[in-house]
Structure 1
Amino acid sequence: MANTVQVDILTSERTVYSDEVEMVIVPTIDGNLGFLPNHSPLITGLQIGQIRIKKDGEEIELATSGGFIEVKPDQINILADTAEFPEEIDIERAKRAKKRAKERLQKSDEARINETRAESALQRAINRIDVVQGE
């Protein structure tokens, strides 16, 4: 394959993806960034969002909940907290998690368990639903 870069996506449990690709777009702490072969070295954090991989004219999407990316000219390593393909996501579970998180955020201040935790859970659930629905 001409003009490609090796991409490895790893979680603490498994190697999620490993292949030569034309481009990868990730949700970094500075916004979405795209990486092509021969990119300058970079290490940055990931946030909740979608990892998009472009290979052979097609796009592959994964949901991630954060982590880190290390970019080298010939290698991109993504160390993700979680990384899921759409077919691995239980959409009904994600919808229930979204509903629970919204309910927690709507409670009065005294009854809130942890607003930051609920907001993060809501973002993760919405992201997983978006990946399954191709949004």
Structure 2
Amino acid sequence: MDTFALKIIAINKVFYEGNAKQLIFSAVDGLVGIMAHHEDAVIAVNVGEVKIQTAEDRWVIAISGAGHIQIDRNHVVMMVDTVEYPEEIDEQRALEAKERAEEQLRREQSLYEYAISKACLIRAIERLKIKKKYSAR
């Protein structure tokens, strides 16, 4: 199977840089898979699970925040606000963030504040889901 160059960048770090066989991530219209020689595109990334099949057939699992992916001539760059391994997720902290966001959503807010609270809730729920899914292994 062919490979493509992949770089995943978060605000505070380069999470992954190397060749990959597949990249699977959550986009605004559902799960998207990228393989070698994918057509050039720019795709919005949603908060969710990211799976990378490395050139060595090892799977790297992570959770990413929102951002975008640029595909250009077999080079893929994913730029997101956050990205972390399941084992890096502090379950208690994520649970507290979920509760805070739920409390904020129960209050009267401006549209902007509502959007922020909803995004925080989605991120916390996704982090808890990934932590639970991969801590059982």
TM-score by shorter chain over 0.5: yes
Structure 1: distance between partners of 2:89 and 2:48: 14
Are the equivalent residues in 2 in contact too, given 1:37–1:73 (CA < 8 A)? no
Shift of 1:54: 2.1
Matches within 5 A, 1:92-111: 92-107=92-107, 109=108
Please list the CA deviations of residues 20-68 of structure 1 after superposition, one character each: whole Å capped at 9, or x if unmatched.
2210012122322100011111112212112111234543221111111
Q: 1:50 touches 1:64 (CA, 8 Å); kept in 2?
A: yes
Q: Distance in 2 between matches of 1:119 and 1:72?
A: 32
Could you list the runs of 5+ residues in structure 1 that have no partner in the other structure? none
Identify unmatched segments of 5+ residues in structure 2. Answer: none
Counterpart of 1:31 in structure 2 is: 30
Structure 1 partner of 2:11: 12
**Equivalent residue runs for 1:48-127 within 5 Å:** 48-55=47-54, 56-107=56-107, 109=108, 114-127=113-126
SS of aligned partner of 1:102: helix
Which amino acid in 1 is paired with 2:117? A
The amino acid of 1:126's aligned partner reads I
Distance (Å, rounded) in 2 between the aligned partners of 1:66 and 1:11: 10
CA distance in 2, matches of 1:15, 1:113: 30
In 1, the alpha carbon distance for the partners of 2:112 and 2:97 equals 15
Partner of 2:43, secondary structure, is strand
Query: 1:7·1:17 contact (CA, 8 Å) conserved in 2?
Result: yes
Q: Tell me how large the CA RMSD over aligned residues is.
A: 2.3
* Structure 1 contact 11–81 (Cα < 8 Å) conserved: yes
1:12 Cα deviation from its structure 2 partner = 2.4
